[in-house]
């Protein structure tokens, strides 16, 4: 899973200098849990930010129809860089059983090894949630003093920075890979302490949840080690040495 996203951009008359200091100063969680009467399951947050670097902004940050080369292009990049901000919407991504990361049977990497193949499709509810949040983001910018606003349509994701799922946590080895101790069901001394244990993506930024789970896993590993239970499956005893 990734996190469903949408972005509403705005250009303001006066400099904002959003590239300085904290990237995110406010997060709106008014829509963290949406009413099921809307016809879909989901929710998420929105924050106002500007976290682009100059080169990335020059390539992708100008409004539609802006020149892509020459003196006017340079002028707009210089003017808009300090006057642009956007509402970034981050929503849930529901688990889809067909989504996976596997080894490609045909494509090889530079070393002749099978390349990683990502199979991914957004759940229909994720797209509806992203569209709902994008509509609210545009309403927020309508109420702002922005002199121009624009947004891209919500589409199936082809890129993501929050890599979550594929090794879900659970009690049943048939439907999960690790148990509540973050320990693999079938490999006694393997612990997974990253975002792969998520059963859904949550409502947005997952980093602090991943950190909390990693600290929790460390505590569990210490307790197991003190009881001499590392390297054995639950219920098994470590073989004695003669």
Cα dihedral 17, 22, 23, 27 sign:
negative
Active-site residue, from 90, 123, 162, 182: 162
Q: Is 87 exposed, middle or buried (0-12, 13-18, 19+ CB in 10 A)?
A: buried
38 — phi, psi (to 5°)? -70, -20
User: Of how many residues is the chain composed?
Assistant: 242
Q: Which residues contact 140 (CB under 8 A, 6 or more apart)?
A: 8, 46, 87
Rounded to 10 degrees, the C-alpha dihedral 127/132/138/143 comes to -170
Is 162 a known active-site residue? yes
Q: What span, in angstroms and rounded, lies between the C-alpha atoms of 55 and 77?
A: 10
Instruction: Find the radius of gyration of the CA atoms of the chain.
Output: 23
Residues whose CB falls within 8 Å of the CB of residue 71, separated by 6 or more in sequence, listed in order: none
CA 164, 203, 154, 144 dihedral sign is negative
The single residue listed with the structure tokens 């244990």 is: 197
> Would you give the distance in Å from CA 93 to the centre of its chain?
9
- Among 13, 79, 8, CA closest to 50: 8
List residues with catalytic annotation.
162
């Amino acid at each position: 899973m990734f996190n469903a996203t949408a972005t509403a951009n705005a250009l303001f008359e006066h400099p904002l200098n959003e590239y300085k200091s904290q990237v995110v100063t406010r997060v709106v969680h008014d829509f963290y849990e949406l009413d099921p009467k809307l016809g879909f399951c989901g929710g998420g947050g929105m924050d106002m930010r500007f976290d682009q670097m100059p080169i990335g902004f020059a390539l992708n940050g100008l409004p539609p129809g802006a020149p892509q080369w020459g003196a006017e292009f340079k002028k707009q990049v210089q003017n808009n860089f300090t006057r642009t901000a956007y509402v970034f919407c981050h929503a849930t991504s529901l688990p889809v059983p067909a989504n996976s990361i596997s080894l490609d049977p045909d494509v090889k990497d530079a070393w002749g090894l099978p390349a990683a193949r990502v199979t991914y499709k957004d759940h229909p509810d994720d797209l509806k949630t992203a569209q709902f949040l994008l509509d609210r983001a545009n309403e927020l910018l309508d109420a702002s003093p922005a002199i121009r606003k624009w947004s891209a349509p919500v589409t199936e994701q082809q890129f993501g920075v929050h890599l979550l799922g594929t090794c879900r946590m659970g009690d049943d080895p048939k439907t999960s890979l690790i148990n509540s101790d973050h320990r693999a069901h079938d490999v006694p001394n393997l612990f997974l302490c990253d975002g792969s244990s998520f059963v859904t993506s949550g409502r947005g930024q997952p980093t602090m949840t991943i950190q909390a789970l990693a600290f929790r896993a460390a505590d569990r590993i210490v307790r197991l080690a003190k009881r001499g239970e590392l390297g054995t499956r639950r219920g098994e005893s470590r073989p004695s040495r003669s």
